[in-house]
Structure 1
Amino acid sequence: MTSSEWAAVDRYIVDSLVADPDSEAALVANAAAGLPAIDVSPAQGKFLYLLARTARARRVLEIGTLGGYSTIWLARAVGAEGRVVTLEFAARHAEVARANLDRAGLGARVEIRVGAALDNLPGVAEDEPEPFDLVFIDADKINNANYVLWALRLTKPGSVIIVDNVVRSGALVEEESEDPGVQGARAAIELLDAEPTLTATVVQTVGAKGWDGFAYAVVNGENDE
Structure 2
Amino acid sequence: MAKRLSMLMRMGNLTRTGQVGDGREEALADYVLAHAAPGDVDDAIRVIDEYAYRQATLINIGDEKGLVLDAAVRRAEPRLLLELGTYCGYSALRMSRVMGPKARLCSIEFSAANAAVARRIWDHAGLGERVTVLHGTLGDDGRTIDRLNSEYGFGPGRLDFVFVDHIARAYLPDLRRILDQRWLRPGSIVLADNMKVPGAPHYRAYLREHEGTQWRTREHHAHVEYQSWVKDLVLESEYLPSGAATGPGGTGPAPA
SS of the residue 2:217 aligns to = strand
Task: Please name the residue that 2:135 is paired with.
Answer: 114
Paired residues in the alignment total 192
Kindly indicate whether residue 183 of structure 2 is the aligned counterpart of residue 189 of structure 1.
Answer: no
SS of the residue 1:117 aligns to = coil
Kindly indicate whether residue 235 of structure 2 is the aligned counterpart of residue 215 of structure 1.
Answer: yes
Task: Please name the residue that 1:14 is paired with.
Answer: none
Q: Is the 8 A contact 1:63 1:136 kept in 2?
A: yes
Counterpart CA distance in 1 for 2:104 and 2:56 is 25
TM-score normalised to structure 1 length: 0.75
Kindly indicate whether residue 206 of structure 2 is the aligned counterpart of residue 202 of structure 1.
Answer: no
Tell me which structure has the larger Cα radius of gyration: 2
SS of the residue 1:193 aligns to = helix
What is the alpha-carbon root mean square deviation over aligned residues?
2.8
Counterpart CA distance in 1 for 2:48 and 2:196 is 26
Q: How far did 1:94 drift?
A: 0.6
Counterpart CA distance in 1 for 2:149 and 2:56 is 29
Which amino acid is 1:216 matched to?
Answer: E
Kindly indicate whether residue 126 of structure 2 is the aligned counterpart of residue 105 of structure 1.
Answer: yes
In structure 2, the CA distance between the partners of 1:64 and 1:104, relative to structure 1 (3 Å rule), is same
Q: C-alpha deviations, 1:77-117, integer Å up to 9, x for none?
A: 22321100000011111111111112222132011100233
In structure 2, the CA distance between the partners of 1:190 and 1:222, relative to structure 1 (3 Å rule), is closer
Q: C-alpha deviations, 1:102-136, integer Å up to 9, x for none?
A: 22221320111002332223542454126211100
In structure 2, the CA distance between the partners of 1:113 and 1:28, relative to structure 1 (3 Å rule), is farther
Which amino acid is 1:49 matched to?
Answer: D
SS of the residue 2:139 aligns to = helix
Counterpart CA distance in 2 for 1:194 and 1:165 is 19
Counterpart CA distance in 2 for 1:78 and 1:151 is 21
Task: Please name the residue that 2:195 is paired with.
Answer: 166
Task: Please name the residue that 2:67 is paired with.
Answer: 46
Counterpart CA distance in 1 for 2:221 and 2:158 is 28
In structure 2, the CA distance between the partners of 1:59 and 1:29, relative to structure 1 (3 Å rule), is farther
Q: Is the 8 A contact 2:214 2:240 kept in 1?
A: yes
Task: Please name the residue that 1:140 is paired with.
Answer: 167
Structure 2 residue runs of 5 or longer lacking an equivalent are 1-41, 246-256
SS of the residue 2:126 aligns to = coil
Structure 1 residue runs of 5 or longer lacking an equivalent are 1-19, 169-180
Q: How far did 1:221 drift?
A: 2.9
Structure 2 residue corresponding to 1:25, chosen from 27, 47, 50? 47
TM-score normalised to structure 2 length: 0.66
Q: Is the 8 A contact 1:35 1:93 kept in 2?
A: no
Which amino acid is 1:158 matched to?
Answer: G
Counterpart CA distance in 2 for 1:165 and 1:144 is 11
Q: How far did 1:36 drift?
A: 6.6
